[in-house]
Chain A
Amino acid sequence: DAGITQSPRHKVTETGTPVTLRCHQTENHRYMYWYRQDPGHGLRLIHYSYGVKDTDKGEVSDGYSVSRSKTEDFLLTLESATSSQTSVYFCAISEASGGASDTQYFGPGTRLTVL
């Protein structure tokens, strides 16, 4: 299994509070991704990173920001959490070029509940 950890694994928070989720990898892979999983939607890309300090938006990026100050860590921040951001969040990594053929490996997920 790819060395990917996510923290926390579960979190309950209140509307309007800031939340930061952490993804840590031990594989030294260049690309890292944040997805959210919701019933009926599969997984949707929030943001991704192609190197330290290099990030870009995915299809559902509104309300989220990311940072990557080290190769091994990719942080996802909800500046002011809303109930619509209740979801399961997955981090993924890939080692190659970030192209369409890359295999992505997924972390165990973080279940976030916003009350």
Chain B
Amino acid sequence: AQSVTQPDIHITVSEGASLELRCNYSYGATPYLFWYVQSPGQGLQLLLKYFSGDTLVQGIKGFEAEFKRSQSSFNLRKPSVHWSDAAEYFCAVGDGNKLVFGAGTILRVKS
């Protein structure tokens, strides 16, 4: 079965610092990978997605992610975090008719 692992349950960064959220997947074929963000009390918003081609994917809100097949990873990055980035972040892999989600990483931003 396909699976997604987000090793960090919580991460705290200072405002203005860089951010990297880790995501590892288990998938037999070429994966379709997604990052979603969930602000408190809200639904999930798509940040970016990877299907094929360029392994560095640009998304909304200044986020990017890099697909590394050799490491089965799809880490999310942002060069300078803003207080409004505090949220929960989910990595997911497309598996047939569904998305398989990781458990999520809660990002806290300290001023």
Contacts and interface: CB of A to CB of B under 8 A. Distances in A.
Contacts of A48: 97-98
Contacts of A98: 97
A42 B96 contact: no
Contacts of B4: 42
B97 A56 contact: yes
B43 A101 contact: no
B83 interface: no
Given A43-B99, A48-B98, A101 B51 contact: yes
Given A41-B103, A42-B104, A50-B97, A100 B43 contact: no
A69 interface: no
A90 B43 contact: yes
Contacts of A59: 98
A103 B43 contact: no
Interface in A27-60: 31, 33, 40-45, 48, 50, 56, 58-59
B106 to A, nearest CB: 10
Interface of B is mostly: strand
Interface in B33-89: 34, 36, 42-46, 49, 51
Contact of B96 (A33, A99, A103, A108): A99
Interface residues of A, number: 27
A109 B92 CA distance: 18
A45 B98 contact: yes
A109 B97 CA distance: 20
Interface of B: 4, 9, 32, 34, 36, 42-46, 49, 51, 90, 92-99, 101-104
